[in-house]
Structure 1
Amino acid sequence: MKARTKLLMLKGALTKKVPIYVQFAVSNRCNLRCSMCSALDSRKAEQELGLPEIERLAGILKELDVAILILTGGEPLLRNDLAEIIRLFARRGLEVRLQTNGILINESKVKELTDAGLKEVTISFDSFDAKKYDEITSVNGSWDKIIQGIALFSQYLPKKGNISGINTVVSKKNIEEVPKLIEFATRIGFYISLIPVHISGSNDKFIVRKDAPDFRFNTQEYEVLDRIYAKIVEMKREGFNVYNSYRFLSESKEFLKSGQVNWHCDSPFLYFSISPAGNFLPCVDIPTSISMLEDDFVQKFRSKEFINSIRDMVNKCSGCMYGCYPEVTYFCNDVKVFMERAMDGIRMQNSRRKPYEYNELLGIIEEIKAKEA
């Protein structure tokens, strides 16, 4: 982690007024059709920003003291100019991370991205069962390509002090597999971030959430939920690479049962999102038509009127447990989580991992699956 990033994170924790974490959906397109995600339909009418506009955006984010920028989508690898996008932000001193499904990566592309300044990535991976995963993504062969992608990233990303990882959406479809996925991530030197599935109501107007009842837990399944989350906490205490804080894990379990949250969103003070067209969003799920490319945006962002208008939107939201937002709020407002994160940071900084070939990853998966047989 860069010195600038550490200083801005500390400033955010002390002042609660630095947007240290931002997500930018660089693409409105996706090569998967995941059953619990509506982002593709929500954003299909948007026009993606070109490089000159993204360069302006990079300057704005630096002026706002943004520390960490997540490039997401849609699927960011669908952009042929992704390496140049990474380079534009990295030159401004931002810590750039890529959130991808990993399917489109190849050796030349991963070299191009790392040469541009990419050092960390999170890859979506929800199941050891190839058939189940292909059903979730609605694309045959997606599971196998993701394993190939994980192998390539393991070979080309930095081997020391790297917190690249796997994003797993936890739902009734894969709850029993979560401990195995944790073991897999740890075995290969990756971290795993466990995000509870977000299911909207039929009348809700969210960008990402979708009405997907097949992923929802019913009351008869709460015992399984309690048992698996107790196992997750136990594994984290034993040193497995679970990225989430203990508080996040506890509140995620309750969110999966009730849909209720127990924390207060700090957008736009500590974080926000950006749409493919360059619109400011309080988060990935709340749309606006506010362009960040307006000449006076930085001044507007710091105005009382702007902040109050965004806070009105946030206060009307039912809340979320997307990993990024609550974890930043916990870090900046909960001393216990701050200390936990500080200790995690020391461990991560000293961690090392080895590169893996595709066949080696398949072998590890089979070993883990065989333990249960």
Structure 2
Amino acid sequence: MKDKVRDDYERPIISLRISITNRCNVNCIYCHHDGMLDSSSEMTPDEIYEICRIAKKLGVEKIRLSGGEPLVRPDIVEIVEKVNSLDFRDISITSNGIFLDKLAGPLKDAGLDRINVSLDTLDEETYKMIVGKNVLERVKKGIIESCAVGMYPVKINMVVMNNINNDEIMDMFEFTKKHGVILQLIEIIESESCDDNDFNSKYHYPLAEFEKHLAEIADEIKVREFMQDRKKYFIDGGEIEVVHPVDNTNFCKNCTRLRITPEGKIKPCLLRNDNLVNLIEFIREGASDEELIDIFLKGIHNREPFYKEEN
């Protein structure tokens, strides 16, 4: 298949996000901690390869590996190597960064293009309160090592929380600017669809006013048209991108990502769990490429904008 497959709303499927584990080595206060899979039940490197191989046939260009914390898997380098052998345009990982000081080099050598590191504060006490342990210096070392081995871009995902770290944004920006890292500010979702509305209501920090400040001091502003019209602010040699909550029609209209759960199911929509399509059991039963493509297509045609534009 040469052309990209589109869903019933004419959205092309460009990227695939695979949660390769739901295990994690920290306990972040904003994480829902969905039921944990035993490591023996996780998809193997060969199974992840097969999923990516079929996705490639459907025109997928980019793979993101996530978790849980994907670097807790001892075979993470092998997984990246196998995915890289399929020649995707981009392979990335989202991580808490704790193991990056040791794994940045091997991951880069295996074919990893870039990494997003979740880091919400540079204050040791605040970090310990958010994640449950104090390994901040190790995470910072891992970020610097990722830059040193040539990953580009390295991004820091900073979840901005009211009365916790909302006053640290510019300190984080100075850190990212110093090391050539991009800062992504993430606004907590605040909507009726959220499973943890009490937490989100308490700690939600609207970034709209702060964006006005960024617009005033920016040397240049770019808009990512196919990413919610996110704005990228270039300031004094650094870069800040603002990620607003996904509960908006623009996010859904421009969504080009399909997801795979840690259990090996196709997840057509980030905000729904009632239309999953089992994929891994057919791979384990030796299904043909044609059968696996049909299963992928079923998941793709299950895609429907969670937030639709009003007529």
Structure 1 and Structure 2 fold alike (TM over 0.5): yes
Interval containing the TM-score (normalised by the shorter chain): 0.7 to 0.9
Indicate if the aligned counterparts of 2:21 and 2:37 stay in contact, CA closer than 8 A: no
Matched, 1:152 2:145: yes
CA 279–59 in structure 1, closer or farther in 2 if over 3 Å, else same:
same
Pick the aligned partner of 1:164 from 154, 158, 163: 154
Aligned to 2:210: 228
Matched, 1:185 2:172: no
Matched, 1:97 2:92: yes
Q: Secondary structure at the residue paired with 1:301?
A: helix
Query: Aligned partner of 1:233: which letter?
Result: A
Aligned length: 284
Q: Secondary structure at the residue paired with 2:252?
A: coil
Q: Which has the higher strand share?
A: 2
Q: Deviations over 1:127-181 (max 9, x none)?
A: 1222112111122x132221121122122124xxx22211111221222222332
C-alpha displacement of 1:198 = 2.8
Distance 1:174 1:242 in 2: 26
TM alignment of 1:96-135, pairs within 5 A: 96-107=91-102, 109-135=103-129
Pick the aligned partner of 1:238 from 219, 229, 234: 219
Q: Secondary structure at the residue paired with 2:230?
A: helix
Q: Secondary structure at the residue paired with 1:31?
A: coil
Indicate if the aligned counterparts of 1:99 and 1:122 stay in contact, CA closer than 8 A: yes
Distance 2:86 2:230 in 1: 31
CA 246–70 in structure 1, closer or farther in 2 if over 3 Å, else same:
closer
Indicate if the aligned counterparts of 1:199 and 1:216 stay in contact, CA closer than 8 A: yes
Distance 1:200 1:43 in 2: 26
Aligned to 1:286: 272
C-alpha displacement of 1:16 = 4.8
Aligned to 2:292: 297
Aligned to 1:195: 186
Q: TM-score, normalised by structure 2?
A: 0.77
Distance 1:154 1:91 in 2: 23
Distance 1:182 1:246 in 2: 22
Matched, 1:263 2:247: no
Q: Which has the higher helix share?
A: 1
Percent identical across equivalent pairs?
23
Q: Secondary structure at the residue paired with 1:97?
A: strand
Q: TM-score, normalised by structure 1?
A: 0.65
Distance 2:143 2:56 in 1: 31
Distance 1:283 1:277 in 2: 16
Unaligned runs of at least 5 residues, structure 2 = 233-240
Q: Secondary structure at the residue paired with 2:175?
A: helix
Aligned to 2:50: 56
CA 309–35 in structure 1, closer or farther in 2 if over 3 Å, else same:
same
Indicate if the aligned counterparts of 1:233 and 1:246 stay in contact, CA closer than 8 A: no
Indicate if the aligned counterparts of 1:179 and 1:232 stay in contact, CA closer than 8 A: no
C-alpha displacement of 1:233 = 3.0
Indicate if the aligned counterparts of 1:69 and 1:96 stay in contact, CA closer than 8 A: yes
Unaligned runs of at least 5 residues, structure 1 = 1-6, 320-373
Q: CA RMSD in A?
A: 3.6
Distance 2:101 2:172 in 1: 23
